[in-house]
A and B are shown apart, each in its own frame.
Chain A
Amino acid sequence: MSGVPIGVVRFPGTNCDEDVRSAVAGTPGARPVWLWHKERDLQRVRGIVLAGGFSYGDYLRAGAIARFSPIMEEVVRFARAGGPVLGICNGFQILTEAGLLPGALMRNNRLSFVCRPQWLRVESTGSPFTARYAPGERVLFPIAHGEGNYVAEPAVLDDLEAEGRVVFRYVDETGAVTPEANPNGSARNIAGIQDATGRVVGLMPHPDRAMETLLGSADGRRVFEGLVEAAA
């Protein structure tokens, strides 16, 4: 198989690995490569996706144990060297636990697991993952999480805003940031953020489940196209 190798990390409890594999495989020029949590060999992948699910049963805190797995040491090294890394849902939680992204994801404020299509606004196009979107564009990605309430110290939130590192925000269908559009209580309706370089992005919504118009939305495709372009 040819194409840019993109690693898809699997932990015990990861359950969106097939969605991500399929999303990568369906992106022109890309080739998915499984990365098992016990491995230290990144198999020369050029980009990495941490898929959603419940790694290690979400025991203790979501992402807390996955962060110390052998593969994550290599993912952190890869990210620090400038490799593009995307964390979706549980992957986002793991990236915050690993310290690659600031803040933390707490239990949803409305006591329930939320599973529905969600409008988002693209706030930053400074990341390879969002380079193919228009600034302020409204997109529809599914969400499915019980612990997606993004929190960080006010100073950290101010820095994220000032540096244009808020990547996605929860909005209503008109594109307005409202409390009602916020599915989990996240600070400032934040759905996704990036690191200082823009090459590490974490988000709670699932671009991997927004790949086909027939299934509700194909808005997520450009996230993967951007990943492949950055990895090439």
Chain B
Amino acid sequence: MRARAEVFVQLKPGMLDPQGETLEHALEGMGYESVDEMRVGKWITFRVEGSDPEEISERVEEMCRRLLANPVIERYRFEISDEESAG
């Protein structure tokens, strides 16, 4: 089956995120003072083929662990959707 994968990577809670802080300050300067706890992450999308959803899911998990995220500083989650039904 052919699937579409979406991987979301973000710094772990507690890890300083200078990009998030800077954006937050910028938004505050623009008048959006209610903004808080802004974090900037990564959204990675790709197509992937495999025999079944479980197998694809295991491989994407491995890709996240080995390359797409650094478990020392980042956390990740991903979604797999069927290429056909995804439209």
Contact = CB atoms under 8 A, between A and B. Distances in A.
Interface of A: 60-61, 64-65, 68, 96-97, 102-104, 106-111, 149, 151-153, 185
Interface in B6-53: 11, 15-16, 18-19, 22, 42
A106 B68 contact: no
Interface of B: 11, 15-16, 18-19, 22, 42, 66-68, 70, 72-73
Given A64-B67, A68-B67, A111-B22, A104 B16 contact: no
B63 to A, nearest CB: 11
Q: Which of B19, B22, B70 has the most CB of A within 10 A?
A: B70
A61 B64 CA distance: 13
B22 A106 contact: no
B80 to A, nearest CB: 20
B46 to A, nearest CB: 13
Given A64-B67, A152-B72, A106 B19 contact: no
Contacts of B70: 61, 64, 97, 104
Given A64-B67, A68-B67, A151 B19 contact: no
A151 B73 contact: yes
Q: Which of A103, A104, A185 has the most CB of B within 10 A?
A: A104
The 3 A-B residue pairs whose C-beta atoms are closest, nearest first, are A104-B72, A104-B73, A107-B18
Contacts of A149: 16
B15 A106 contact: yes
Given A111-B18, A149-B16, A106 B73 contact: yes
A169 to B, nearest CB: 19
B16 A106 contact: yes
Contacts of A65: 67
User: Chain A interface mostly helix, strand, loop or mixed?
Assistant: loop
B22 to A, nearest CB: 6
B18 A151 contact: no
Contacts of A108: 18
19 contacts: A61-B70, A64-B67, A64-B70, A68-B66, A96-B72, A97-B70, A102-B72, A104-B70, A104-B73, A106-B11, A106-B15, A106-B73, A109-B18, A111-B18, A111-B22, A149-B16, A151-B72, A152-B72, A153-B72
Given A60-B68, A104-B72, A185-B16, 8 more contacts: A65-B67, A68-B67, A103-B72, A106-B16, A109-B16, A111-B22, A149-B16, A152-B72
Contacts of B16: 106, 109, 149, 185
A134 B22 CA distance: 41
A217 B22 CA distance: 35
Contacts of B66: 68
Contacts of B15: 106, 151
A88 to B, nearest CB: 20
Q: Which of B15, B18, B22 has the most CB of A within 10 A?
A: B18
